[in-house]
Amino acid sequence: MTKTFIISEIGINHNGSLDIAKEMILKSKECGADAVKFQKRTINLVYSDEQLKKNRVSPWGTTEKEQKEGLEFGQKEYSEINDYCKKLNLEWFASAWDLESLKFLDQFNLKYNKIASAMIIDENFLEEVSKRKKYTFISTGMSSFRMIDNAVKIFRKNKCDFELMHCISNYPFENKDANLNMINILKNKYDCDVGYSGHEKGGKLISIASVCFGASSLERHLTLDRTMYGSDQAASITPDTFKDLIDGVRIIEQAMKGSSDKQILESELPVARKLRAHIKNSS
């Protein structure tokens, strides 16, 4: 099997701190991730004025607007993130949540794009992303086959390479809802690679199991501390667990290699001679 592409989803778990973001990038690199991912929003486009005026107590103030703005990185932060990832030789990209954010990310000439589950129904957005011809990960949380059909149709029309990602959009979701069988269902239905974007309660086990079901990529939210402020922290894993997860995936990849021809391994021959020495009429 091919090597599973491991994505460390930093998202907004940096809580608006560039220092925390850089520490998370470094930890992702040390754990063996292939890429780190962020989220980019233009606040007044993604959220209504009514929503932004609502009360919400956070480290940044008492309204939704103050909370959203406190979590959002801009030009300065992403320029430093871009330079830092280049220094570490680590790919980075972000899921844009609006066209202005997509255009903002264009300046960094990133290798990948990501369609967040929330954005899979926005046809105009899908058109713009697919026209950029960058390999795109498309998350399928909160989606029906009809919604996925439409997204796949747009990307194939515009000849943009993509893979779907099986995803359950609860943060975290119950282990019984993981439905890893959907990886192969999507793979067979759409004839494409399918990854897994996990938000499960169960630490690393379900994510490792997704590789056994043929996941081509694996994305998990990373946090430095699951008790930190933020809606994604509880569905995230710490660097120690992330390292164990990646090590586990690499072991599974090795274990799934092999021939379809059943033969006695060279390493088995001396064992066979020893354990079968008492058998006189063997075939």
Structural contact between residues 194 and 186, judged by C-beta atoms closer than 8 angstroms: yes
Distance between CA 141 and CA 219 in Å, rounded? Answer: 13
The CATH class that applies to domain 5-275 reads alpha beta
Burial of 92 (0-12, 13-18, 19+ CB in 10 A): buried
Distance between CA 52 and CA 72 in Å, rounded? Answer: 14
Q: What is the mean pLDDT of residues 79-92?
A: 98
Residue 97, pLDDT above cutoff 70: yes
- Residues sharing a CB contact under 8 Å with residue 15, sequence separation 6 or more, in sequence order: 59, 70, 71, 228, 229, 230
Residue-wise pLDDT for 37-74, tens only, equals: 999 999 999 999 999 999 999 999 999 999 999 999 99
pTM above threshold 0.85: yes
Domain ranges for the chain, please list them: 5-275
Q: Give the N- to C-terminal CA distance of the chain in Å, as an integer.
A: 34
Q: What is the mean pLDDT of residues 190-213?
A: 93
**Cα 236 from chain centroid (whole Å):** 12
Q: What is the mean pLDDT of residues 145-164?
A: 98
Structural contact between residues 35 and 25, judged by C-beta atoms closer than 8 angstroms: no
Residue 282, pLDDT above cutoff 80: no
Distance between CA 228 and CA 21 in Å, rounded? Answer: 14
DSSP-derived letter for residue 202 is: S
| Res. 173 pLDDT band, cuts 50 70 90 | confident
Residue-wise pLDDT for 233-254, tens only, equals: 888 999 999 999 999 999 999 9
Amino acid at 205: L
Q: What is the mean pLDDT of residues 178-201?
A: 96
Per-residue confidence (pLDDT) for residue 128, from 0 to 100: 98
Burial of 76 (0-12, 13-18, 19+ CB in 10 A): exposed
Q: What is the mean pLDDT of residues 213-222?
A: 97
Residue 256, pLDDT above cutoff 70: yes
